[in-house]
Amino acid sequence: MSNGPVGVALVGAGVISGQYLRNLTTFPDVRVLAVADLDADRAATVAREHGVPVSGDLGTALALPEVEIVVNLTVPSAHAAVALEALRAGKHVYGEKPFAMDMDEGSKVMAEAANRGLRLGCAPDTFLGAGLQSALHALRAGLIGTPVAVAAATQSLGPESWHPNPEFFYQPGGGPLFDLGPYYLTALVSLFGPVERVAAGTRKAREQRVVGSGPKAGTAFPVDVPTHVNALLDFPGAATATATFSFDSPVNRRVIEVIGTEGALSLPDPNTFEGPLLARGLHDTDWRELPVSGTTVSRGIGVLDLARSLRAGTPHRASGELAYHVLELMSSIAQSGERSEFRPITSTTTAPEPLPADWDPHAATLS
């Protein structure tokens, strides 16, 4: 396929598939052709709800020649395996975070895509939303001078109070670092470029947690990953950043604050696509809210950017290269916490260019 809307298949018909399908099916530049899942009945139900013509297993979706991009919404432990199978079928892949469970898996996916001349994309695409795009423009315009330092934090008591099956959040590939870290780290890299080295301290408050809702309420389960992570990130030639990722905090906090030579910015929650975006000068006594502009459509705009970039032959923004760098950051932060040492980062990436001011997900640009 070389012109017209881009054919897409979704693999994984879990809860998050609804968010993607509600958006992707409204984008004129994308045609959702199939929904695949290990549970054929669930795939059929989800496809029917969103008017998608084909459902079945992964093989069914990959056999459709019109499918150019596979959107991989499977569980994290299957991300790499599904991506490899799709690439071997000649499809570009856009996956949910994390990019892979570890660096070995991630390297195999990167190599397979490079060898086949195919593209990789990965969530989160929240940095393409109006809030963080407006923050990027403010920084590039010098609103707060030269960035010096960043403080980021996401803190809560964890998801077991509301999630009926929270065990996977506390297994390898989970924890606050791998569950929430991609939003914060991707936002920081999109603003300041690649990280050169990291250091971290990690803790685990409890060896067991208890399910707080649903049919398993009151059931204890083991905690196999750190639940409180403090990290230091060094951006060469730019700001340094501290980042806290915690499932042990009674204080709920979601913040990214950038300190510059002429003021400070308070960024919106990087797990959202909107504002607020706040600023203050060196001698201001309080924050002032800045206007934000751009899309707030939410999940799926990274897929659309990939689709449009395929047709134009230009780089896409929520790239595999970016996600692989973030995967190395998380892996190295975890290793640093175990070994009490700075860890060098060997991968690199390019901070994505801002979206054009007139970028509209609901415009038909490929017809």
What's CA 161's distance to the chain center, in Å? 24
Residue 311 confidence (pLDDT): 97
Residue 287 confidence (pLDDT): 97
Alpha-carbon distance of 316 to 220, in angstroms, equals 43
- pTM, rounded to two decimals: 0.95
Task: Tell me the per-residue pLDDT of 121-141, one tens digit each, with 9 for 90 and over.
Answer: 999 999 999 999 999 999 999
Residue 182 confidence (pLDDT): 97
Q: Is the pLDDT of residue 264 over 60?
A: yes
Task: Tell me the per-residue pLDDT of 295-321, one tens digit each, with 9 for 90 and over.
Answer: 999 999 999 999 999 999 999 999 999
Residue 250 confidence (pLDDT): 96
Q: In what order do the strands lie in the sheet with 67-72?
A: 54-56, 30-36, 6-11, 67-72, 92-95, 120-122
Q: Is the pLDDT of residue 276 over 80?
A: yes
Q: Is the pLDDT of residue 242 over 60?
A: yes
Task: Tell me the per-residue pLDDT of 53-68, one tens digit each, with 9 for 90 and over.
Answer: 999 999 999 999 999 9
Residue 150 confidence (pLDDT): 98
5 pLDDT tier (thresholds 50, 70, 90): very high
237 pLDDT tier (thresholds 50, 70, 90): confident
Q: Is the pLDDT of residue 1 over 60?
A: no
> Which H helix or E strand runs over 264?
strand 263-267
Determine what percent of the chain falls in helix, strand and coil, rounding each to the nearest 5: 35, 25, 40
All structural domains of the chain: 6-126+299-319 (3.40.50.720), 130-290 (3.30.360.10)
β-partners of residue 112 are none
Alpha-carbon distance of 200 to 219, in angstroms, equals 32
Q: In what order do the strands lie in the sheet with 263-267?
A: 288-290, 277-281, 263-267, 253-260, 147-155, 240-246, 228-234, 197-203, 343-344
For range 272-294, the mean pLDDT:
97
Total Cβ atoms within 10 A of residue 289: 11
Residue 165 confidence (pLDDT): 87
Task: Tell me the per-residue pLDDT of 164-187, one tens digit each, with 9 for 90 and over.
Answer: 889 989 998 889 999 999 999 999
Q: Give the residue carrying structure tokens 């990722």.
A: 245
2 pLDDT tier (thresholds 50, 70, 90): low
Percent of residues, the chain, with pLDDT higher than 70: 99
Alpha-carbon distance of 234 to 220, in angstroms, equals 38
Let me know how long the chain is: 367
